[in-house]
């Protein structure tokens, strides 16, 4: 991995590369569970750029970097103006001189793409208006932990119910990249755009997975191993809430009536935050087949895996002799200029 690599979109990686990342995450999680997280990123720094706040993304990345022996710097909304008071190019170049890796959660996908184009350190996409790759890698890790008895990854049936969100785009793409069978259930107006469909259809040709879209939620969940939902509106869509609520409620709410239409082993997933009682009921979120909090925990292990995968191979590891040499020079400076 001598070549600079960013994590902007799962589509930038092959199935084999994604599986290698997932394998590393699972290895690190095993170490975590035994309180043996190695300090693989000791001395490294992470810049976390946020245009919008986030509970899971901020905490998971900051704790991950700390537990790996590094340091995370939180640049909250309003503290840094990407492309406003300073060009995005200049910001990217300057931050690259200070840190070893950048995580950016931006309103526009073009912003993180431009950061990655000009940065000289790895850039990790923490969410944009188009996709959420860190979350869906975490989701695959969680699915593997809760795999239906006797099923391989390529045999998983994953159903998403609701709106074609930035999460849904990433989920349908990674599932079809890995050869899974993905169903989208939602009202016609809020189904995936043609551009997304073309991408996943190409994925299916390569991986052997499948993809379908339906307006019938009962049909959508009929073979599901995992049912996933997300918020029905996002930042900037507040004016559409009445119209969206009318389109989704009650037909596309994941309630116990709909959940029971799925196979008895089916698990419920949500990336959180959730609007309880809106896209999903408390009864489903808190039932024994809900794995939402396993998902939330796995964000921490996922961020560790991503940080190690993209940063560890790039870190310089000076010899003890070289370290001693520079320490000696600094000590000599003080002895010569400030004698006791």
Are 217 and 191 contacting, i.e. CB atoms less than 8 angstroms apart?
no
- d(CA 157, CA 17) in angstroms, rounded, equals 22
**Residue 275 burial (CB count, 10 A):** 11
Let me know if 135 is a catalytic residue: yes
DSSP string, 303-316: HHHHHHHHHGGG--
| Candidate list 6, 105, 244, 301, residue with the active-site label | 105
Q: Which of 52, 73, 124, 101 is closest to 299 using CA atoms?
A: 124
* Helices and strands per DSSP (H, E), number in the chain: 13, 9
Neighbour tally for 129: CB within 10 Å: 18
Peptide bond into 306 cis (omega under 30): no
43 beta partners: none
CB count within 10 Å of CB 202 equals 13
Please state, in angstroms and rounded to a whole number, the distance separating the CA atoms of residues 80 and 84.
Answer: 9
Computed from CA positions of residues 82, 84, 85, 91, in that sequence, does the dihedral angle turn out positive or negative? positive
From the list 6, 132, 270, 301, the catalytic residue is: 132
Identify the active-site residue in 138, 175, 266, 271.
271
Clarify whether 230 is annotated catalytic: yes
At 15, list the tokens: 């199935």
From 230, 244, 295, 301, active-site residue: 230
Q: What distance in Å separates the CA atoms of residue 8 and residue 92, rounded to the nearest whole number?
A: 15
Q: Which of 135, 177, 191, 295 is catalytic?
A: 135
Terminal C-alpha separation, the chain? 49
Residues with a catalytic annotation lie at 105, 132, 135, 230, 271, 299
């Amino acid at each position: 991995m001598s070549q600079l690599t960013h994590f902007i979109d799962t589509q930038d990686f092959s199935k084999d590369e994604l599986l290698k990342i997932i394998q590393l995450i699972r290895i690190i999680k095993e170490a975590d569970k035994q309180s043996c997280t190695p300090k693989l990123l000791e001395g490294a720094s992470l810049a976390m750029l946020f245009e919008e706040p986030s509970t899971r993304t901020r905490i998971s990345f900051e704790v991950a970097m700390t537990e790996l022996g590094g340091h995370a710097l939180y640049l909250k909304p309003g503290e840094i103006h990407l492309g406003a008071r300073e060009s995005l190019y200049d910001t990217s170049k300057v931050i690259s001189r200070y840190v070893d890796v950048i995580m950016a959660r931006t309103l526009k996908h073009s912003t993180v793409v431009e950061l990655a184009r000009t940065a000289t350190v790895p850039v990790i996409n923490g969410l944009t208006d188009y996709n959420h790759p860190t979350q869906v890698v975490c989701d695959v890790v969680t699915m593997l932990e809760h795999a239906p008895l006797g099923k391989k990854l390529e045999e998983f049936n994953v159903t998403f119910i609701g709106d074609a969100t930035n999460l849904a785009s990433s989920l349908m793409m990674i599932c079809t990249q890995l050869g899974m069978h993905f169903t989208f259930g939602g009202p016609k107006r809020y189904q995936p755009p043609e551009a997304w469909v073309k991408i996943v259809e190409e994925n299916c040709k390569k991986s052997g997975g499948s993809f379908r879209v339906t307006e019938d939620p009962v049909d959508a969940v009929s073979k599901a191993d995992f049912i996933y939902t997300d918020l029905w509106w996002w930042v900037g869509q507040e004016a559409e809430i009445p119209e969206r609520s009318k389109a989704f409620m009650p037909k596309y709410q994941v309630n116990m009536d709909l959940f029971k239409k799925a196979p008895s082993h089916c698990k419920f997933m949500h990336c959180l935050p959730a609007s309880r009682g809106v896209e999903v009921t408390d009864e489903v979120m808190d039932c024994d087949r809900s794995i939402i909090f396993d998902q939330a925990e796995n964000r921490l292990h996922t961020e560790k895996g991503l940080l190690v995968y993209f940063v560890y191979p790039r870190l310089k590891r000076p010899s003890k002799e070289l370290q001693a040499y520079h320490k000696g020079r600094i000590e000599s400076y003080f002895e010569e200029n400030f004698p006791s």
